[in-house]
Structure 1
Amino acid sequence: MSRPRTHVRGPRNPPSITRPTLPTSSHDCTSLQGPPTLPSAIPQLGQRLLIDSSVPFNIIRDRSAFQSYLSDRKVIRCLNGTIFEAVGYGSVLLQVTAMKEEHSLRPSMCYHVPSARHHILSVTSLLNGDMQVILAHRSPRIILPLKARQAQPSLPKYYPLSREKTHFFLKCRFALTSTVPLPPHDDCNPQSFTLTASSH
């Protein structure tokens, strides 16, 4: 007997992003984090992103994955008490396979956290991009906005997710180009970004 489908909604009170003194020990972080790592070589970049409803922003481990980037230290506090130490932010370009075709997904605001164990795609960011997230035993998926699909009929209805025990992942690959510097980010509205999709 399959479990009922679950629609994930964003938090009523979004977590805050602050600039306190950074924790001096990696033990200040929860199990989502591990010891600091150097950016991976391009062929070794992770090929999937963990779908997480407690993290308010997208998290990328590897500096070389960014298409645009600005160094800027921040502490990100999550709903479950996790503390992420970000050293910069920028945009990445993901190539996702759906319906046997490759499509582009571009989160325009991702934080660089070298100590994170996984690349993380925030449910909050997806909802802000007018997407729906269905985490279910069968056919977990990210449903693309109807307006985007009407404007670009070649887009799929959804991106499939993979499931490992209680975790869900978006399988993808990073499209890597030369990094472009970013202007300073406005902390007053840290979630002012879009998540768009376009097909090849």
Structure 2
Amino acid sequence: MSRPHTHVRGPRNPPSVTRPTLPTSSHDCTSLQGPPTLPSSIPRLGQRLLIDSAAPLNIVRDRSAFQSYMSDRKVIRCLNGTIFEAIGYGSVLLHVTAMKEEHSLRLSMCYHVPSARHHILSVASLLNSDMQVILAHRSPRIILPLKARQAQPSLPKYYPLSREKTHFFLKCRFTLTPTVPLPPHNDRNPQSFTLTATSH
């Protein structure tokens, strides 16, 4: 008999996420109990993002990953009590492989947290972008919005996720380019936390 899986979709503010039935671990970064930590076997800086249901915002630890950037200190409080101190924000361009083709995925708002142990893709930001997140033992994935796929038929239906024990990751390749400055950010602007996807 197959195990239950989690199908995460709306409401948007705040999102309600039900974890799948997985082995318990003190290193569960998406658990709503305790601060996130990772086993030493998981690289601190790699070409992937941790799918996190506790983080309200996207987090990238590498300054060179940003295409646009604005220095600005911000305290980010997660649902599990973890606190991150960001020193800037900007946009990040990723390349994700789906259906044997590489597609571009732009995160229009990411926060720069050098002290973070890993890059984080917030479930809240995905839900706010009308995406769906399925965390399952088989075929975990991020489903793109139907409207986006209708407007751009070359887009895949979903981005596959990888799984390590109780952690889910989006494997990607960062586009490293010279950054340009951004204007000051208004936290009340919901459009600042959107994801857009284009294929190429």
Deviates more, 1:86-95 or 1:4-13: 4-13
Secondary structure in 2 matching 1:148:
helix
RMSD between superposed Cα atoms in Å:
7.5
1:156-178 deviations in Å (ceiling 9; x for gaps) = 10000000000000000001111
- Does the Cα contact within 8 Å between 2:6 and 2:18 map onto a contact in 1? no
- Does the Cα contact within 8 Å between 2:67 and 2:92 map onto a contact in 1? yes
Give the direction of change, closer, same or farther, for the CA distance of 1:41–1:174 in structure 2 (3 Å limit): farther
Give the direction of change, closer, same or farther, for the CA distance of 1:128–1:12 in structure 2 (3 Å limit): closer
- Residue in structure 2 matched with residue 98 of structure 1 by the alignment: 98
- Residue in structure 2 matched with residue 110 of structure 1 by the alignment: 110
- Does the Cα contact within 8 Å between 1:15 and 1:77 map onto a contact in 2? no
- Does the Cα contact within 8 Å between 2:27 and 2:39 map onto a contact in 1? no
**Is 2:73 the partner of 1:73?**
yes
Secondary structure in 2 matching 1:125:
helix
Q: For 1:20 and 1:2, locate their aligned partners in 2 and report how far apart those are by CA, in whole Å.
A: 12
Shift in Å, 1:44: 10
Give the direction of change, closer, same or farther, for the CA distance of 1:19–1:12 in structure 2 (3 Å limit): closer
- Does the Cα contact within 8 Å between 2:70 and 2:89 map onto a contact in 1? yes
Deviates more, 1:169-178 or 1:35-44: 35-44
Shift in Å, 1:199: 0.3
Shift in Å, 1:77: 0.5
- Does the Cα contact within 8 Å between 1:29 and 1:84 map onto a contact in 2? no
Secondary structure in 2 matching 1:127:
helix
Give the direction of change, closer, same or farther, for the CA distance of 1:15–1:43 in structure 2 (3 Å limit): closer
Give the direction of change, closer, same or farther, for the CA distance of 1:102–1:69 in structure 2 (3 Å limit): same
- Does the Cα contact within 8 Å between 1:143 and 1:157 map onto a contact in 2? yes
Fraction of identical pairs, as percent = 90
Secondary structure in 1 matching 2:89:
strand
- Residue in structure 1 matched with residue 28 of structure 2 by the alignment: 28
Give the direction of change, closer, same or farther, for the CA distance of 1:191–1:10 in structure 2 (3 Å limit): farther
Q: Which runs of 5+ in 2 are unaligned?
A: none
1:115-154 deviations in Å (ceiling 9; x for gaps) = 0011000000011111000000000000001111111111
Q: Which runs of 5+ in 1 are unaligned?
A: none
- Does the Cα contact within 8 Å between 1:19 and 1:74 map onto a contact in 2? no
Give the direction of change, closer, same or farther, for the CA distance of 1:46–1:175 in structure 2 (3 Å limit): same
Give the direction of change, closer, same or farther, for the CA distance of 1:69–1:36 in structure 2 (3 Å limit): farther
Q: For 2:136 and 2:21, locate their aligned partners in 1 and report how far apart those are by CA, in whole Å.
A: 39
- Residue in structure 1 matched with residue 164 of structure 2 by the alignment: 164
Q: For 2:75 and 2:9, locate their aligned partners in 1 and report how far apart those are by CA, in whole Å.
A: 24
What count of residue pairs does the alignment treat as equivalent?
200
Shift in Å, 1:23: 33
Shift in Å, 1:78: 0.7
